[in-house]
Structure 1
Amino acid sequence: MDRVKGNGSFGDKVRRTWLSLPLRKKVGAITVLAAFAVSFSILMNLVTAGFGMNGFRKILEDNSRSASFQAAMETESRTFKTMIRDRSEDNRAAYKEACGAARKALEALPYDYDEIGRERFAKTWSVKNSYDTYEKRKAELLSMSEDDPEYVQKLYEIYQIQNYIKSYAGSLQEMNVAAGIRRYEKQIPLFLLIPALTILWGSLALAAVLWLNRSVGRHIVRPVQALAEDSRRIAENDYSGPPVSTECEDEIADLVRAFCRMKCSTQGYIETLKEKHEVETQLEAVRLQMLKNQINPHFLFNTLNTIAGAAEMEEAETTEKMIQAMSRLFRYNLKSTASVMPFEREKKVVEDYIYLQKMRFGSRIRYTSDCSQDTMEVMIPVFALQPLVENAIVHGLAVKPEGGRLHIRSWIRGKRIFISVSDTGAGIAPERLAEIREELRNGESQKLGIGVSNISRRIKTMYPDGELLIDSREGRGTVVRMAFTVAEM
């Protein structure tokens, strides 16, 4: 009984000591233990890898040398046949190079009797002797004339020797593989022992990690989570949550106590701030509405017409054209109460907008169009083109110092209408393009922008099979394509 009580007292003492440690020392102790566990695991892995690599290195080296000789022999045979058919300088050079490579690979074959054993030594000896005979026969053949009666017979003897050598090399490769397997099987007990030790250490490390995780979760994570939960309630103006508590006497405990004191003193202050914010929001809305009311769109439209008349009298042609284009844009915005417009009219308004942008950016914007006449009377959602063109210029062409080309195209395929706005501007990054396509599918507009999202939604509402597609390559440009089917053409 005394021993049990003593153990309990010692455990309580350790627990109290751990709870009273500063947070930095707790983190340091956890870090040291984790570093020791990781270091020991790395050491065990290195030992395992060392044993494995030392054994496999010789196996792989022998197999590699045999395979290299096989490949070199195949190349030498092929170049020899090519050279026999056409004894050009290039073929002779290729054959000579292949012979050198084959000889080098042959000399690299393992040839130590004590190391490779009797069978592999005998097979290697056969390969070397056969290759020496093979070289002599080739030399005799190359010194003969092709008209010699024995030339063909000698040539086929050489081909037969080539096949023998390849067969010997294949057998040698199989012997090397078998020898490697036997060598590996001898090391299996060692390989089994090392994983067993690794598993044992891993179990101990896992137990230590679980204990640390439980301690950290109970004395560090839980108080912080409770603070976060209470903070979320306070952010919702809910101060009814229970007070946060902790058993520790470290920085976390200081934070909990300070938070509880602040919680009691901030409720009235936050309510005051909320009321003040509501008043300021209402005041800002009133100010914004007053500012909007100061600018009458019809007044701007009439003023632009007056300025255009003055520019005409002063013979300022460019200024007159710009003001007239702006006036047409204002007129279209003010008087377009319908939800749909003919494509031709939308295109003309967009071209006025492009003209104004060209006056700003000059030759950096090059505009072209290729629109089928059959699509001009097709009804499309009002203001469907202008946001697409504006995006192409602002986010595509204007970003590149050299600008680029803006192209509007429309065509008909069957009963389906296609209208595209393309540019050779900066393009869209793949990650951003994926986000845009996902928002188009879901009908969202948080990151997509009101204009494009609105166009997509109106097309899908107006036409059951309507869709808005975006293709882009970063640095190359972007294509936005509307597609829908018209019931009657």
Structure 2
Amino acid sequence: MKAFYEILFSIYRYSGMQQGKDSLMDRVKEKGSFGDKVRRTWLSLPLRKKVGAITVLAAFAVSFSILMNLVTAGFGMNGFRKILEDNSRSASFQAAMETESRTFKTMIRERSEDNRAAYEEASGAARKALEALPYDYDEIGRERFAKTWSVKNSYDTYEKRKAELLSMSEDDPEYVQNLYEIYQMQNYIKSYAGSLQEMNVAAGIRRYEKQIPLFLLIPTFTILWGSLALAAVLWLNWSVGRHIVGPVQALAEDSRRIAENDYSGPPVSTECEDEIADLVRAFCRMKCSTQGYIETLKEKHEVETQLEAVRLQMLKNQINPHFLFNTLNTIAGAAEMEEAETTEKMIQAMSRLFRYNLKSTASVMPFEREKKVVEDYIYLQKMRFGSRIRYTSDCSQDTMEVMIPVFALQPLVENAIVHGLAVKPEGGRLHIRSWIRGKRIFISVSDTGAGIAPERLAEIREELRNGESQKLGIGVSNISRRIKTMYPDGELLVDSREGRGTVVRMAFTVAEM
């Protein structure tokens, strides 16, 4: 049908009779089918209304089925009850007449008090059974009404003749004749009662035959309605499973994958426009955002790792020429003034420093190894400055295996000697200390040199907080960044008093001690 409309639209446009470019196709497309409209309406309903519609439909289906069953049962029971009741009343009257006739004959043969009491009881029962016969013309019809009327009139005459007979003496000449007439009336009434019974049975059969189509129609309609209700329930079950349960299960499965750091699953989709659809779209946006954030963090971490390696290499490249120049000057001066033994020790210390510098490709080293390298450097500087530099250390044995950034001590010691002790004619003391407080490690390099002016100290602290190196120098700023990169709570603190000395302290927490 859609292709047919499109062909018509093409012919209409080709013949030049088009009045609006898209008017015909727009009307065809917008019209749609009734099923599509119902489907779109159902998908756009809020979740609460969907649940309410399902509940109402299910309740209506169950209630209507129960109602139809009750109507069927009530209609059948009421019809059968009426038929059985009419038959029972006519049969009761017929049996009462038999009993009344028998007790009457017994009393006539022997007029004792017992026989008379039995007769009166039977007569009363027959009268009650007669009054109980159905006597509604509209309900029982003309034939049964006429037969019942004849029985009632005959019984009234019969009772009058019995009363006359019982008041007569047995020696009365008319007694025997009246007695036989009463017997004939009894037989007549009993035959009428039998005929009435047969008429009631026949009427009941006709009434049942008239109700048979209805009895067949109601179950058929009930089965049809039950089938429609079952189909509706199955459709609702499919719809709930597809548009509610399915998306929720997909979300649960996707969330389990995300918990395992797996973002490769396909995006969850739904055709609805309800709260489930809002949840699915929000979950997909959160998944994409989280995945993008994680990828950004990975890229940033890789870039920072590469940058840190470059900075470390730059630090090495900066330290090596300057350090080599100063050390060679010291060795040359010592070689002129001292014997070869001292020169040999200096060369050995220098060799160890070169070996450590060139072979230390790792980013971290044990504190004990870093301390030994720094002591070789201090030995060489003492050879240069003589007794102007005094070195002491107080390091806890528990800190010797702690991993610290490589070349973290040497720049601090170099700064202490060059900027602190060397500028003072009398020199001073250099002290390295390490200790543990709880799980936190402290390593300090202190000197009794010239110290730092308050303004300069404030600038240094500000740049350490901001991670800058414009005025701080690449050595100290690099150490600060590496400590903060390795340890979340790592920090580099500087305390100084002009003319009194400087203390540079590293502090960080080791996860496992």
Q: Deviation digits for residues 298-346 of structure 1, max 9, x if unmatched?
A: 9999999999999999972100000011111100010000000000000
Change (3 A) 1:219 1:59: same
C-alpha deviation, 1:101, in angstroms: 150
Change (3 A) 1:183 1:76: same
Change (3 A) 1:94 1:176: same
> Larger deviation: 301-310 or 470-479?
301-310
Change (3 A) 1:291 1:394: closer
Change (3 A) 1:332 1:268: closer
Change (3 A) 1:22 1:409: same
Q: Map residues 324-363 of structure 1 onto 2, 5 A cutoff.
A: 324-363=348-387
SS at 1:245's partner residue? coil
Asked if structure 1 preserves the Cα contact closer than 8 Å seen for 2:393 and 2:433, the reply is yes
Gaps of 5+ in 2: 1-24
Asked if structure 1 preserves the Cα contact closer than 8 Å seen for 2:374 and 2:409, the reply is yes
Change (3 A) 1:453 1:277: closer
> Larger deviation: 55-64 or 385-394?
55-64
Distance 1:77 1:420 in 2: 136
* TM-score, with structure 1 as normaliser: 0.38
> Larger deviation: 302-311 or 383-392?
302-311
1:444 matched to 2:460? The reply is no
Q: Deviation digits for residues 98-143 of structure 1, max 9, x if unmatched?
A: 9999999999999999999999999999999999999999999999
Following superposition, which runs of at least 4 residues in structure 1 exceed 6 angstroms of deviation? 1-315
> Larger deviation: 3-12 or 111-120?
111-120
C-alpha deviation, 1:460, in angstroms: 0.1
Distance 1:150 1:432 in 2: 161
Change (3 A) 1:347 1:26: farther
Aligned to 1:165: 189
Gaps of 5+ in 1: none
SS at 2:404's partner residue? strand
Q: Deviation digits for residues 367-404 of structure 1, max 9, x if unmatched?
A: 00000000001000000000000000000000111100
Change (3 A) 1:207 1:123: same
Change (3 A) 1:396 1:32: farther
Same amino acid, percent of matched pairs: 98
Asked if structure 2 preserves the Cα contact closer than 8 Å seen for 1:83 and 1:91, the reply is yes
> Larger deviation: 455-464 or 220-229?
220-229
> Larger deviation: 426-435 or 116-125?
116-125
Distance 1:88 1:359 in 2: 163
Q: Map residues 415-430 of structure 1 onto 2, 5 A cutoff.
A: 415-430=439-454
For residue 99 of structure 2, the aligned residue among 36, 60, 75 is 75
C-alpha deviation, 1:89, in angstroms: 162
SS at 2:33's partner residue? helix
Alignment RMSD (CA, Å): 33.9
Asked if structure 1 preserves the Cα contact closer than 8 Å seen for 2:419 and 2:450, the reply is yes
C-alpha deviation, 1:44, in angstroms: 113
Change (3 A) 1:6 1:351: closer
> Larger deviation: 200-209 or 277-286?
200-209
Change (3 A) 1:11 1:296: same
Change (3 A) 1:140 1:5: same
> Larger deviation: 370-379 or 101-110?
101-110
Asked if structure 2 preserves the Cα contact closer than 8 Å seen for 1:308 and 1:320, the reply is no
C-alpha deviation, 1:428, in angstroms: 0.3
Distance 1:397 1:149 in 2: 174
Q: Deviation digits for residues 346-385 of structure 1, max 9, x if unmatched?
A: 0000000000100110010000000000000100000000
Change (3 A) 1:120 1:263: same
Change (3 A) 1:440 1:283: closer
Q: Deviation digits for residues 266-323 of structure 1, max 9, x if unmatched?
A: 9999999999999999999999999999999999999999999999999721000000
Asked if structure 1 preserves the Cα contact closer than 8 Å seen for 2:441 and 2:507, the reply is yes
Change (3 A) 1:262 1:453: closer
> Larger deviation: 32-41 or 78-87?
78-87
Distance 1:86 1:411 in 2: 139
Aligned to 1:2: 26
C-alpha deviation, 1:170, in angstroms: 145
Asked if structure 1 preserves the Cα contact closer than 8 Å seen for 2:334 and 2:384, the reply is no
Asked if structure 1 preserves the Cα contact closer than 8 Å seen for 2:135 and 2:148, the reply is yes
Change (3 A) 1:173 1:8: same
Q: Deviation digits for residues 204-229 of structure 1, max 9, x if unmatched?
A: 99999999999999999999999999
> Larger deviation: 452-461 or 68-77?
68-77
SS at 1:341's partner residue? strand
Asked if structure 2 preserves the Cα contact closer than 8 Å seen for 1:436 and 1:447, the reply is yes
> Larger deviation: 364-373 or 285-294?
285-294
Aligned to 2:16: none
Paired residue total = 489
C-alpha deviation, 1:145, in angstroms: 175
Change (3 A) 1:299 1:226: farther
Distance 1:376 1:275 in 2: 34
Aligned to 2:322: 298
SS at 2:32's partner residue? helix
C-alpha deviation, 1:415, in angstroms: 0.3
Asked if structure 1 preserves the Cα contact closer than 8 Å seen for 2:452 and 2:498, the reply is yes
Asked if structure 2 preserves the Cα contact closer than 8 Å seen for 1:416 and 1:486, the reply is yes
Asked if structure 2 preserves the Cα contact closer than 8 Å seen for 1:301 and 1:330, the reply is no
Change (3 A) 1:406 1:295: closer
C-alpha deviation, 1:260, in angstroms: 62
Asked if structure 2 preserves the Cα contact closer than 8 Å seen for 1:305 and 1:323, the reply is no
Change (3 A) 1:426 1:290: closer
Change (3 A) 1:35 1:265: same
> Larger deviation: 379-388 or 295-304?
295-304
Asked if structure 2 preserves the Cα contact closer than 8 Å seen for 1:304 and 1:327, the reply is no
Asked if structure 1 preserves the Cα contact closer than 8 Å seen for 2:330 and 2:380, the reply is no
Distance 1:428 1:360 in 2: 24
Change (3 A) 1:338 1:89: farther
* TM-score, with structure 2 as normaliser: 0.36
User: If you compute each CA radius of gyration, which structure gives the higher value, 1 or 2?
Assistant: 2
Change (3 A) 1:338 1:247: closer
Change (3 A) 1:486 1:148: farther
Change (3 A) 1:84 1:41: same
C-alpha deviation, 1:8, in angstroms: 83
Aligned to 2:177: 153
